[in-house]
Structure 1
Amino acid sequence: MKFGLVCAVGSVLSTVLAQPLFEKRAINETALEDAIPASTGAKGGDNIQASYGKPFAIYQPKAFVVSMFELERDPWLEALDFVHNITLPGLSPIYPTVHCTTNYTICQITTGEGEINAAASVTALTMNPLFDLSKTYFLIAGIAGGEPKYTTIGGVTFAKYAVQVGLEYQFDYTDYHNTNANWTSGYIPYGTDNQDTYPGNVYGTEVFEVNEKLRDRAVELALKVDLNNGTKQNAAFRALYNETAASSLPSVYKCDVLTSDNYFTGNALGDYFANLTKLMTNGSATYCSTAQEDNASLEVFTRLDKYGLVDFDRVIVMRTISDFSRPPPSLFNNTVKFFFDSDQGGIGASLDNLVLAGTPIIHDILTNWDKVYESGKKYSSKNYVGDIFGTLGGEPNFGKSSFDIA
């Protein structure tokens, strides 16, 4: 894999990174014990709550890159001066180390793939007493499958919504095609008996909405860079598609991400999950990338924002497109061949573009920390942010008035 393009980005940050080493903070006033909201136990009795400040935190990074596996991590390690390695309990046994730059202003974590790994690793990081992350900006930066209607191989997507699509009933095709021939797939939302009804039962992780204003700033900056356009075979495979976005060179797009541990592909599932995305967000979201971890990480950020340990308003979700999520017309009738045997040209462009498109917002955060980003006011959200329950306050612009909570 060639990292020539991403390595050059390191020089852009050189002036920002050439700062004195951090000083240990004497006290962290993120949250005080007497600020804990009062509540009662399940049966109305006492409810003893722990304090949640981190008075002896040492590391206070301004930006944190969240990768999911080795190939997403390595371009960042090549591009920036991650010279400090901090091993934390609770991280993935494959990726047990947090990496930080010379002055600890930028750090990076690799969670491990899938929802369970992401939730466990992000929890271990954010609960660790060494880190004060109350003002840290998190860039979730991974690769994903892409919908040809909205993006292409090497394309960069920044999401406003993350929709978890794996929480459903599932029937095998042989069990429903004779009795329910109109079904798009064998998936049915929980608590319903058809595919067009909002789930009756929810777990609370089905939909997250992140800060649109901060997302738009990241997009504005990313649009100014030259992306890696990929290989000749990438170009040849793009040309097999009729959609303008798919057949074009990669660019930066505002569209939304799906989370599922089930690695799905093809037209039938693509159509179903596209419709489900609209259903789950009351028509607001546009599905263009499919990944495995984002809702898990966002659930952790939501829970810990409630106790002042992170700021959900400072989370950005970026996915670059490594492959198409459905076949071109020439392979419409052979999705299995498309998935296993077609040569899409490699994923190098998507890996390079993680750093090329993600670095501008990180550089902006560091350069304008004192005047803009530390307070968070300029790019504070104007839209609703949080989960389907309204955990962080406000009224979700998706969902319905009430649910059966599983």
Structure 2
Amino acid sequence: MFLSPFRRLLLIACACLAGVNTASAAVPNVEAALACAPTTPCASPLPVRMVIVTMFEIGADSGDAPGEFQLWKERRKLDTRIPFPQGYHDLHYNPDSQILAMVTGVGTARSATATMALGLDPRFDLSKSYWLVAGIAGIDPEDASIGSAAWARYSVDGDLVHEVDAREIPKDWPSGFFPLDKNGPHDKSPPITEGRVFALNPKLADWAFALTRDTPIPDDAGIQKERASYSGYPNAQKPPFVLIGDQFSAMTFWHGKLMNQWANDYARYATSGKGEFVTSAMEETGTLQAMTYLDRVGRAKMDRVMVLRSGSNYSMPPDGVSAADNLMRENEGYSGMRASLESLYLVGSKVVDELLGHWDRYEKAPPQ
């Protein structure tokens, strides 16, 4: 993509208006990087200060109903499209802010392979990059309301388990699931965490929460009506807010009070009581497994990864509504979809602006 002198000045002005400090960095040579093939050595890799990791988009990348990617693309002027044939979706970049955004595709297989493919792509210098995983999620009404945004300290894998159909489980089993390598659901020997529990940098998560905890998140009549039905759950009835809360990653889109209890119990068990299930999604353990491997070979830094999930729907129904009925209704559209996308962008952007606006400080070491 050719950038005229006028275009370069315009992009720099836009970046400054967005709160990004560009004074200390020259505009990267985008044309030279685009001339490199995705899997061959590149003499002019693009420097990346921030990677925004989203999982899906709806329709076009801009101009229609947004998914997780669109608000970042439009509002952060990510206008340089970079072919990414080894992944699900092309990448988008802003040469002035040095923000790179990706869409991994839904599920752990796609998120893991796309993250690994980006990390090993010689067209990008990711040696100092911060990574922000920003996606919508189911949210536990015991902890928060839809539209709320949770910074995770842990991501727990809910797929590596034994399963017995709920119609056949013994009466003394709390659920039909128990961890691999365990002798039944009552086996409480120490959990195996390798590949099943990913601990994020707790100081970075706490810093992000402290920075964003008072971020105003828009409320609307639709989510007010939805949360009013959760009369027995005080946190579910609050207007959207920012919190610390851990992420439960499973490829099955589960729903219901009993499944919600399973997620809570398993998250506490897997983290030895340190974690608290708040959001449910599919991709994090794939993304974080890839990041762990990339960190080992110096292609990325695991201690610079943040996970932010916002609630688009509750992970269980209100009292008096069956899990099946509520799930079918949700499949027609999440009541908190737009609210959760705005929440993701508003809360996540505050962290992005702080990191990039003081890059001379944060490029050296993560904030604490």
2:148 counterpart residue number:
155
2:21 counterpart residue number:
16
Confirm or deny: 8 A CA contact 1:190 1:200 kept in the other structure: no
Tell me by how many angstroms 1:88 deviates: 2.1
TM-score scaled by length of structure 2: 0.85
In the alignment, structure 1 residue 208 sits paired with structure 2 residue 207: no
Confirm or deny: 8 A CA contact 1:59 1:104 kept in the other structure: no
Query: Would the alpha carbon gap of residues 222 and 368 (structure 1) be closer, same or farther in structure 2, given more than 3 Å must change?
Result: same
Report the Cα distance in structure 2 between the residues aligned to 1:243 and 1:346, rounded to whole angstroms. 17
* 1:104-183 map, 5 Å: 105-176=98-169, 180-183=170-173
Among 220, 223, 226, the residue aligned to 1:234:
223
Among 314, 321, 328, the residue aligned to 1:340:
328
In the alignment, structure 1 residue 76 sits paired with structure 2 residue 72: yes
Confirm or deny: 8 A CA contact 1:147 1:324 kept in the other structure: yes
* 1:4-403 map, 5 Å: 13=18, 16=21, 20-22=26-28, 56-70=43-57, 71-92=67-88, 95=89, 97-103=90-96, 105-176=98-169, 180-198=170-188, 204-229=194-219, 231-241=220-230, 242-331=232-321, 334-341=322-329, 345-370=335-360, 372-376=361-365, 378-379=367-368
Tell me by how many angstroms 1:216 deviates: 1.5
Confirm or deny: 8 A CA contact 1:239 1:247 kept in the other structure: yes
Tell me by how many angstroms 1:257 deviates: 0.2
Task: Give the secondary-structure state (helix, strand or coil) at the position aligned to 1:279.
Answer: helix
Confirm or deny: 8 A CA contact 1:164 1:258 kept in the other structure: yes
Report the Cα distance in structure 2 between the residues aligned to 1:56 and 1:346, rounded to whole angstroms. 45
Task: Give the secondary-structure state (helix, strand or coil) at the position aligned to 1:151.
Answer: coil
| Aligned partner letter, 1:194 | G
Report the Cα distance in structure 2 between the residues aligned to 1:146 and 1:11, rounded to whole angstroms. 35
Q: CA RMSD in A?
A: 2.3
Residues 90-120 of structure 1 deviation map (CA, whole Å, 9 limit, x = unaligned): 111xx1x110114251110000000000011
1:50 counterpart residue number:
none
Confirm or deny: 8 A CA contact 2:157 2:197 kept in the other structure: yes
Report the Cα distance in structure 2 between the residues aligned to 1:88 and 1:106, rounded to whole angstroms. 16
Residues 38-68 of structure 1 deviation map (CA, whole Å, 9 limit, x = unaligned): xxxxxxxxxxxxxxxx783511111110000
Report the Cα distance in structure 1 between the residues aligned to 2:29 and 2:74, rounded to whole angstroms. 27
Report the Cα distance in structure 1 between the residues aligned to 2:200 and 2:110, rounded to whole angstroms. 21
| Aligned partner letter, 1:139 | L
TM-score scaled by length of structure 1: 0.77
Query: Would the alpha carbon gap of residues 98 and 198 (structure 1) be closer, same or farther in structure 2, given more than 3 Å must change?
Result: farther
1:399 counterpart residue number:
none
Task: Give the secondary-structure state (helix, strand or coil) at the position aligned to 1:375.
Answer: coil
Report the Cα distance in structure 2 between the residues aligned to 1:339 and 1:108, rounded to whole angstroms. 31
Confirm or deny: 8 A CA contact 1:64 1:137 kept in the other structure: yes
Confirm or deny: 8 A CA contact 1:135 1:310 kept in the other structure: yes
Bigger Cα displacement from structure 2, 337-346 vs 279-288: 337-346
* Count of aligned pairs: 333
Confirm or deny: 8 A CA contact 2:151 2:209 kept in the other structure: yes
Query: Would the alpha carbon gap of residues 218 and 57 (structure 1) be closer, same or farther in structure 2, given more than 3 Å must change?
Result: farther
